[in-house]
């Protein structure tokens, strides 16, 4: 006969009254104690911490020994302290990782039985002051009359998983807003930011400028030296452009060999000199191609446009103004900066 079968033969009422082991028949008492020791041994080696929480006192009447590895507190310490005091942030998994500011309504629902499965992630502070993420999954604990008296669940350290998830989210966000080849902002991000700047200048009565740059005769580079060299030129030009800008400026690859530069708080005159600095830096840059590192003479043409508060320009209109001036620069000699109808020749 198994231990569990023998235990089941002992009157259930006595077990529910927590009869001391000394009042339980010797053989069963010994086997119950052995079973308790076995459970404690197994749970102490589990990576999960198993618990039983009473709702009347909101305290643990059981928590497995592995809690020491998880939080640094002993079983008895966790039973005495208010676990909520360790929680810095709560995200409800079943509600789309919604953050929780107050537990009052949630506890009311759990105690009433509205929640069949509780699953949440907590950012908690450990005994030694570290911050870790733990997952809490629990189910209702019923008494013999079918009333909910608490919950039974597990706690697991998911700090590493959360770190990986956050890194993936950051990478996905970067992909959504970044040109893969050049690591500059992409076209979508450029126009989103430009739209925001045009709205901002109407509130702050300031100015914003854009520069549209295009590589001169880029097709010839691809045809003569291959697309790998063309990609290298694009990456190097991106680096040169970024080196000419402030932290508050934005450089983007708009497509092919076309680049956009957004200059907040910058009037036309200031934008012209930024464009001229970019033009000169690229013209002086030592581009090379092929195994023999043949020098390439790469230049860019640029068009500049600005908007002031009250002009009521949208991002498409401002872009078209700069693009028209780029067209003038390209068709009147290249390797130059163009502003409105006047061409600055070099």
pLDDT in tens, 140-199: 888 888 888 889 999 999 999 999 999 999 888 888 999 999 999 999 999 999 999 999
Number of CB atoms found within 10 A of residue 13's CB = 8
Q: How confident is the model at residue 290 (pLDDT cuts 50, 70, 90)?
A: low
Q: Which of 40, 37, 36, 58 is nearest to 49 (CA)?
A: 40
b/e 149-185 (16+ beta carbons within 10 angstroms → b): bbbebbbbbbeeebeeeeeeeeeeeeeeebbeebebb
| Residue showing tokens 């060999």 | 257
Between residues 284 and 290, which one has the greater pLDDT?
A: 284
Q: How confident is the model at residue 247 (pLDDT cuts 50, 70, 90)?
A: very high
Confirm if 118 and 138 have CB atoms less than 8 A apart.
Answer: yes
**Helices (H), ranges, the chain:** 3-9, 12-16, 26-45, 67-71, 75-80, 104-112, 159-177, 187-204, 218-225, 227-243, 268-284, 315-331
Given this model, what pLDDT does residue 196 score? 95
User: Which of 2-6, 28-32, 280-284 is most confident?
Assistant: 280-284
The 250-255 sheet, strands edge to edge: 250-255, 258-264, 207-215, 300-308, 337-339, 342-344
Per the annotation, the verdict on 257 as an active-site residue is yes
Tell me which of 32-36, 186-190, 213-217, 306-310 is least confident.
32-36
Q: Region 306-312: what's the mean pLDDT?
A: 89
Given this model, what pLDDT does residue 17 score? 47
Q: At a CB cut-off of 8 Å and minimum separation 6, what does 177 contact?
A: 185, 186, 188, 189
Q: For residues 100 and 92, give the distance between their C-alpha atoms in angstroms, rounded to a whole number.
A: 7
Q: Does residue 248 register a pLDDT over 50?
A: yes
Q: How far is the CA of 279 from the CAs of 30, 182, 300, 322, in angstroms?
A: 88, 18, 6, 15
Which top CATH class is 46-163?
alpha beta
Q: Region 309-324: what's the mean pLDDT?
A: 92
Q: Does residue 13 register a pLDDT over 50?
A: no
Tokens of 212: 């549209």
Tokens of 156: 């697991």
Given this model, what pLDDT does residue 103 score? 62
Helix (H, G, I), strand (E, B) or coil at 220: helix
Q: What is the DSSP string of 240-298?
A: HHHHTS-TT-EEEEEETTEEEEEEET--HHHHHHHHHHHHHHHHHS-EEETTTTEEE--
Q: How confident is the model at residue 345 (pLDDT cuts 50, 70, 90)?
A: very low
Same fold, 46-163 and 178-344: no
With a pLDDT cut of 90, the percent of the chain lying above it is: 56
The H or E element that residue 335 is part of is: none
Q: What is the mean pLDDT of the chain?
A: 85
Tens-place pLDDT, residues 75-118: 999 988 888 889 999 888 866 555 656 666 666 666 666 667 88
Q: How confident is the model at residue 49 (pLDDT cuts 50, 70, 90)?
A: very high
Tokens of 327: 């067209």
pTM beyond 0.85: no
Q: For residues 113 and 109, give the distance between their C-alpha atoms in angstroms, rounded to a whole number.
A: 6
Structural domain boundaries in the chain: 46-163, 178-344
Q: Does residue 36 register a pLDDT over 70?
A: no
Between residues 116 and 72, which one has the greater pLDDT?
A: 72
Where does 178-344 sit in CATH, by number? 3.30.70.270
Q: How confident is the model at residue 15 (pLDDT cuts 50, 70, 90)?
A: very low
Catalytic residue among 170, 257, 276, 311: 257
Q: Region 38-49: what's the mean pLDDT?
A: 67
Q: How confident is the model at residue 23 (pLDDT cuts 50, 70, 90)?
A: low
Q: Region 226-240: what's the mean pLDDT?
A: 95
């Amino acid at each position: 006969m198994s231990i569990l079968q023998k235990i089941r033969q002992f009157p259930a009422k006595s077990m529910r009254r927590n009869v001391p082991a000394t009042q339980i028949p010797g053989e069963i008492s010994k086997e119950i104690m052995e079973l308790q020791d076995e459970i404690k041994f197994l749970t102490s080696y589990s990576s999960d911490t198993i618990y039983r929480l009473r709702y009347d006192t909101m305290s643990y009447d059981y928590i497995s020994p592995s809690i020491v590895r998880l939080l640094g507190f002993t079983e008895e310490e966790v039973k005495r302290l208010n676990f909520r005091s360790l929680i810095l942030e709560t995200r409800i998994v079943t509600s789309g990782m919604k953050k929780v500011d107050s537990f009052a309504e949630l506890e009311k629902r759990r105690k009433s039985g509205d929640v069949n499965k509780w699953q949440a992630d907590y950012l908690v502070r450990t005994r030694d002051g570290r911050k870790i993420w733990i997952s809490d999954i629990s189910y209702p604990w019923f008494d013999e009359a079918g009333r909910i008296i608490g919950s039974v669940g597990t706690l697991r350290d998911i700090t590493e998983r959360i770190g990986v998830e956050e890194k993936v989210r950051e990478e996905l966000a970067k992909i959504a807003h970044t040109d893969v080849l050049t690591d500059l902002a992409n076209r979508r991000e450029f126009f989103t930011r430009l739209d925001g700047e045009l709205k901002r200048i109407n509130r702050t009565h300031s100015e914003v400028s854009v520069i549209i740059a295009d590589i001169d005769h880029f097709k010839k580079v691809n045809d003569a030296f291959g697309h790998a060299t063309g990609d290298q030129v694009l990456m190097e030009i991106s680096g040169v452009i970024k080196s000419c800008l402030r932290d508050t400026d934005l450089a983007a690859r708009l497509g092919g060999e076309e680049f956009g530069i957004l200059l907040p708080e910058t009037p036309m005159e200031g934008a012209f000199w930024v464009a001229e600095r970019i033009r000169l830096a690229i013209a002086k840059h030592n581009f090379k191609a092929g195994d023999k590192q043949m020098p390439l003479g790469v230049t860019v043409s640029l068009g500049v446009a600005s908007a002031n508060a009250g002009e009521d320009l949208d991002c498409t209109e401002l872009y078209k103004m700069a693009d028209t001036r780029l067209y003038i620069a390209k068709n009147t000699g290249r390797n130059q900066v163009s502003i409105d109808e006047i061409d600055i020749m070099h």
